[in-house]
Each structure stands twice: as structure tokens, then as C-alpha cells.
Structure 1
Amino acid sequence: MQKSRKKKEKKKQKNRTWMVIVLIMVYLGGLFVYAIPDLQKVALQKENEKAVAHFQEAVEDSQQDRSGEQTDSTSATSNQIPKNAQLYQEMQAYNQQIFSNGQSGLTDPWAYEQETLDLSKYGIDDGMIGILDIPKMDVTLPLYLGATQEKMTKGAVMLGQTSFPVQGTDSNCVIAAHRGWKGIPMFREIERLEIGDELTIQNCQETLTYRVSEIEIILPDESDKIMIRPGRNMVTLMTCHPYTQNSRRYVVYCDEVGTQPEKTADTTADTAEGVGSSRQENVTSEQNRTEAIAEDQRLIERDTLWRKAGYAGIGLIGVLIIFGFIPRKKH
């Protein structure tokens, strides 16, 4: 009788042990699934850092090669982004071309996805044309040519049929990025940018600095809002708005530092009317930014809170599994 009871208790203990093992495995599986975005964030961040480092190294190597000028300056290896006159001049020529034809190729969203230059002949096989650095947002992203879905999962993209970020006038490089992707912030914190903040773009030859001049919220089909503005060398940042939604676009206009003429007493921009217009633009931009922050802050905070609550809930379940099912010795 006693032997039969011990056998039952042993079997019960064994079943309990297997139940604990199954619960722990299910728990760890659930934790892994929930943590996938954070794991992807780490992996994607590493990939971005590697792409940025490779680009910078290639540019530095190209600069050293050019300083020697021992070989043809237009040559390029298959794995190197060359800094040479031909690539840079082709970018500038393209900018002039689309300005002169009124960006007639910018007809539909499909045009945004196109690689408007054949970069492969310069050894650029992944479409990466630069590095975008925005200190105010604490973001550094690789910049790719063509707004395809694949490229947008890796970093920021330059819309096809818009200008390359190089020196010159009559150009506007329109750069888009997700409002966060797989844990990488990308343009999630775009509302941090204020008029006067600066960002940089490193291209195949140089690093250019741009300053925020205007902020606006537009509709997705308002392509006229991202067209070239004569006499200006611009970069326009664009992302979805509100956060996690796709109904509008948050747009930040920037001008290359030093390209705009200084206002003097002799210029029309310095008249009372001109100053008033400039002040009104600044006020409007700040209103757009303030309204966007109010609209998005709740959504961003809710998203962050759900993530924290999820981890807290997973932790609580783990504690319940440990203390609820693991037997303790009787005294």
C-alpha cells in the first residue's frame, strides 16, 4: 500500500516536472517572439553601422587614390565607392537636367523608387550614395538612391526624380524614412527638429551641412510641395504623420549653410514686408511643429508604454511559473 502510494507520488512529481519544463519552454518562446523587434533593432543597427563604416572607408581610400593620381581617376573597383570627378559631375548634371525640364519625370509614386543613375558602373552595387547625420535626433543613417520598400527597411532613401545632395543651386534632395522600423528610430523623432537646427550629408566627395528653414505638414499627393525651388540648394526630410499612421506627411525643409545670400539694407528681403513675411513663415512652421508634437506625443508614449507593460507582464508570468509550479522542500 505504501509502495503504491510512493509510486503514485513519484509519477505525480514526474508529471509536475514535465509541466514545468513545458511551461518554461512556452514562456521562453513567447518572450522570444515578443522581443523580436528589439533583437531586430540590434541586428539592423549593426548592419547600418557596418554600411556607414564601409562607405566612409571607401571615400577615404578614394581620396588617397586621387591624391596620388597614378591611375585613371574614373576607375573603380567592384567593392569601392569612388570619389572621382565623373560620378560627382554626373550627379550635378542630373540636378541641372531635372530642373531645366521641370522635374517632368516626377509623375507618380513609381518614379520615386527608380535609381535615376546607373551607380553600378562606379562600383556601387547596393545603391548607397551617402550618410545622413542628424545630431538633434541622435540619428545616423545610410542614404540610398530610390525609395523602394527594401531600401527603406535599411535606412533613409533619396526619392527618384529629385536632386542629388551635392553642391550647386536649383536643387532639392528629398529624403524619406520610416517613422521607426523594427526598433530603429529612423525619423520617429523628427519633431525634435526646429528652425536653425543643422544636419549633414556625406556624399562620395564631401560633407555638406544644411540648416532647417521651414516645417510643414502636407498630404501624400502634394508633390508640388517637394519640388525644386529656384536659386536654392535644399534637402527636404519627409516621413509619415501622425506616428504609426499614413494619412499625411511631416516635411522639414533645409538649406545648405552658406548658400543663401545674407540680408542687407539694400535687398528687398530686408524690407519691412520681407521681414514680416519671414517672421510669419517661422511662426507657421513653429505652429505646425507644436501641433504635430501634441498629436504624436500621445501615440509615441502609448507605444512605449505598451512595450514596457509587455515586458513587465512577461516578467510577472515568469515569477508565477517559478513560485507556483516548482516544488519547495517541506520542513
Structure 2
Amino acid sequence: MGKRKARGDRPRRFVLLAAGLLFAVGLGVLAYPHVCQVLFDQQARHDESAFVEQRDGALGQGAVDPRLDELFRLLTVENERLAAEGQAELADPFAYEQPAIDLSAYGLPDNRIGYVRIEAMGAVLPLYLGASEANMALGAVHLTGSSYPVGGPNANAVIAAHRGYAQAALFRDVESLREGDEVEVENFRETLIYRVVETRVVDPGDFESVKIQPGRDLVTLSTCHPYGSNEYRFLVICERAL
């Protein structure tokens, strides 16, 4: 009698075990994006801190790599040229453009020119030159043909990112930004602080909205819109504060 009862308990134990495994798998699937985001944020903030510490330490000791001074002059001259001659080379950042300058020649690996910090979104993203598909999978990118992110009186640096994917949110929460929110661009020379002045939704081919505006030092964030679609572009226009 006792043996029959033990055999009858086996299917029940199997069902409970299977249910437990399915629950664990489901919990893992739900937790995966959150865990990936936490790891992405930790790595990005660690790398950003190291980047800024190394940069500021070199500046404080007067030990800046001369190649970086050369790079700053090059990018400044290029921004002046763009302001004077126009921006015929602009293209949609999601068409995957290659960078016009190889930063590795100036001691900056992976064509990473710095970081973008947006506290209102809780975002810190590495910033790469060239809106290539590979770079856009890693963080934010500078749009080739727009002003380089080194500031200036006639500049509009366009910074693009996806509206998130499994590993990171990126610009997913860009619609939460409000007028006055700060956007920090930490390049190889200094930290530039901008404030949001306007948001707008435009067609992918509307390049007039991201061109240089005479006398203004701007950064424009660009991403797909609406969330989950590639139909439009959501722009956040930011003006230099410091």
C-alpha cells in the first residue's frame, strides 16, 4: 500500500519540478534586460570616470598628449569650415555613416571621443565618431557632417542613439527630457554643459532642423520616433550653458 502511494507521488513531484523550472526560466527572461542595463551602466560610469580622471589629471599636470592639442585644432578648424561652407554631407544617422576622422591616430581608441551624461535620464553613454551600426550598438554616436562636439560659437553637434535594445536603454527615455535639463558632453579636452531648449519630431530627411544656426553653440540629440518605430526622428535641441 505504501509503495503504491510513493509511485503516485512521482508524477506530482515531476509536475512541481517542471513548474518550478518554468518559473525560474520566466523570471530569468524578465530579469535579463534589467541585469544587462545594470551591467551596462556600471561599465559606462566606470569608464567615464576613468576617462575624465585621466584627462583632468593630464591637464592639471600640463602633460597633455600633443596629439590631442593637434586634434582639437583640427576639429575646431573643421567646425569653422562647416559653418562657413555649409553642410552638404549630412545624412540620416540611422543610415550608418562612417567617421571622417580616425581618432586612433591621436591616441583615442575605438574612435571614442568622450561621453554623454544626461542625469535627467539616468544615462551615461560612450560617444563615438561615426554613426556606424557597430558604434550604435555600443552607445551614442556623432553624426558625420555635423559639428564636432568641441563647442564653438557656430556649431551644432548631432548626437544620435537608438531607443534602446536588450542590453541597454540608450535614448529610450529621451521624451522625458524637459526644457532646462542638462546634457553634458565630456570630450578629450573639457566638459561642455548644455541645457534643453526645445524638442521636436521631424521626418528622417529633415536636415534643416539639425544644421548649424549662426551664433549658437548647440548639441542636438537624435533618435527614432515613436518608440519601437523608425518612422520619424525625435530631436532634443540643447544650447551651451557653460
Q: Where on the TM-score scale, by shorter chain, does this alignment land: which range?
A: 0.7 to 0.9
Alpha-carbon distance in structure 1 between the residues aligned to 2:31 and 2:178: 33
Call closer, same or farther: CA 1:100–1:111 in 2, change over 3 Å. Answer: farther
Aligned partner of 2:166: which letter?
Answer: K
* 3-state DSSP of counterpart to 1:96: helix
- What TM-score, normalized by structure 2, do the two folds share? 0.87
1:86 aligns with 2:70: yes
Aligned partner of 1:148: which letter?
Answer: S
Corresponding residue for residue 90 of structure 2: 106
Corresponding residue for residue 66 of structure 2: 74
Identify the match of residue 172 of structure 2 among 188, 191, 210: 188
Aligned partner of 2:41: which letter?
Answer: Q
1:31 aligns with 2:27: yes
* 3-state DSSP of counterpart to 1:21: helix
Q: Which has the higher contact order (CA 8 A, sep 6+)?
A: 2
Aligned partner of 1:128: which letter?
Answer: R
Contact 1:44 1:154 in 2 (8 A): no
Contact 1:213 1:254 in 2 (8 A): yes
1:220 aligns with 2:216: no
Call closer, same or farther: CA 1:27–1:196 in 2, change over 3 Å. Answer: closer
Alpha-carbon distance in structure 2 between the residues aligned to 1:68 and 1:55: 15
Alpha-carbon distance in structure 1 between the residues aligned to 2:175 and 2:71: 34
Indicate the percent of aligned positions where both proteins have the same amino acid.
36
Alpha-carbon distance in structure 2 between the residues aligned to 1:137 and 1:110: 22
Corresponding residue for residue 50 of structure 2: 54
* 3-state DSSP of counterpart to 1:143: strand
> Could you give the per-residue CA deviations for residues 201-227 of structure 1, whole angstroms, max 9, x where no partner exists?
111111112222332211111122211
- After TM superposition, give the deviation of residue 129 of structure 1 in Å: 1.2
Alpha-carbon distance in structure 2 between the residues aligned to 1:22 and 1:95: 62
- The count of aligned residue pairs is 242
* 3-state DSSP of counterpart to 1:141: strand
Corresponding residue for residue 127 of structure 1: 111
Identify the match of residue 11 of structure 1 among 3, 7, 14: 7
Alpha-carbon distance in structure 1 between the residues aligned to 2:78 and 2:211: 15
> Could you give the per-residue CA deviations for residues 306-325 of structure 1, whole angstroms, max 9, x where no partner exists?
xxxxxxxxxxxxxxxxxxxx
- What TM-score, normalized by structure 1, do the two folds share? 0.65
Call closer, same or farther: CA 1:50–1:230 in 2, change over 3 Å. Answer: same
- After TM superposition, give the deviation of residue 253 of structure 1 in Å: 1.5
Larger radius of gyration: 1
Corresponding residue for residue 171 of structure 1: 155
Contact 2:89 2:144 in 1 (8 A): no
Unpaired stretches in structure 2, ≥5 consecutive residues: none
Call closer, same or farther: CA 1:206–1:37 in 2, change over 3 Å. Answer: same
Unpaired stretches in structure 1, ≥5 consecutive residues: 76-83, 259-331
Contact 2:92 2:205 in 1 (8 A): no
